Amino acid sequence: MPDTIRPTDEASRRLAKVLIHATRAGTLATLLPSGGHPFASLVSVAPDVDSAPIILVSNLSGHATNLAADGRCTLLCASVGKGDPLAHPRVSVICLARRLERHSPDGERAKRRFLAFNPKAELYVDFPDFSFHVLDVLHASLNGGFGKAYELGAADIRTSMAGAGALAQSEATILAELNQERAAPLQLLADRRGETAATIADKPALGERKGKWRACGIDPLGIDVVSPATHARINFGTRVLAPADFWKMFEHLVNP
């Protein structure tokens, strides 16, 4: 392993996951069927409950044609901000794309999560020529800024859903309660505990970008939130597997 690659640690795993969960548009590189040259395009992204990226693509697009011939692809998720773009964190996620059947359980979950993270996609999500693909993670290359390079395996990126079926099935109900009955404590928690790629990389504090937060996703390791200014993630630090455990964790974080 080159000396430039740092040992994978919990901070690098957390940064990679936050980049994937906070990226709403990423650069997707696929392979042209003729010649095999890389083909890069911009796609909207949302994380599945296990952190695998979900994309919604038109079957008429070039990358959809490429993925139908060869599912190998790479998704670049990057943080943006002031100054030199190369000083900001980014992760290249090497994946194998898998098309989802629209009305399958996986397809329905993908639609629900994708719209929660990208509500403007409601305008075209049901067009007959659009389909969802999940990008199964193989490994990833993380650059946290100058001199901060890491190589991560699939297990470093993916969130295990073992034993968490009840939590996944209750996601829509939990999100509705977070955004309605528990909106006030959610705002406080997001302001205090929400992390972006910039905050993990020791950039300006999240508090400088406070706004009205909306919960858009949950999983065993955290809550994804969005404001008019940014996306962020509230990390639990330990796994929760059932709705009752989720609410216990939420109350613990709100009132430590």
Domain boundary residue, one of 128, 158, 188: 158
Categorize the per-residue pLDDT at 199 as very low, low, confident or very high, splitting at 50, 70 and 90: confident
DSSP string, 138-202: EEEEEE-STT-EEEEEHHHHPPP-TT-HHHHHTHHHHHHHHHTTTHHHHHHHHHHH-B-HHHHTT
Residue-number span of the structural domain to which 206 is assigned: 167-254
pLDDT at position 184 is 96
Amino acid at 129: D
Contact, 149 vs 5, CB < 8 A? yes
pLDDT for 1 beyond 50: no
Residue 92 CA: distances (Å) to CA of 10, 20, 153 = 18, 10, 12
Task: State whether 198 and 147 are in the same domain.
Answer: no
Q: What is the CATH number of the domain that holds 91?
A: 2.30.110.10
Task: State whether 141 and 199 are in the same domain.
Answer: no
Task: State whether 204 and 138 are in the same domain.
Answer: no
Task: State whether 185 and 207 are in the same domain.
Answer: yes
pLDDT at position 79 is 85
pLDDT for 248 beyond 70: yes
Q: How high does pLDDT run on average in the chain?
A: 92
Q: What is the CATH number of the domain that holds 242?
A: 3.20.180.10
pLDDT at position 210 is 58
Q: What percent of the chain has pLDDT over 70?
A: 95
Task: State whether 73 and 154 are in the same domain.
Answer: yes
Task: State whether 202 and 144 are in the same domain.
Answer: no
**Spatial CB neighbours of 107, under 8 Å, sequence gap ≥ 6:** 100, 101, 132
Number of domains into which the chain is organized: 2
Choose between 144 and 154: higher pLDDT.
154
Residue 1: inside a domain, yes or no? no
pLDDT at position 86 is 83
pLDDT at position 202 is 57
Task: State whether 236 and 128 are in the same domain.
Answer: no
Categorize the per-residue pLDDT at 211 as very low, low, confident or very high, splitting at 50, 70 and 90: low
pLDDT in tens, 220-232: 999 999 988 888 9
Task: State whether 37 and 94 are in the same domain.
Answer: yes
Residue 4: inside a domain, yes or no? no
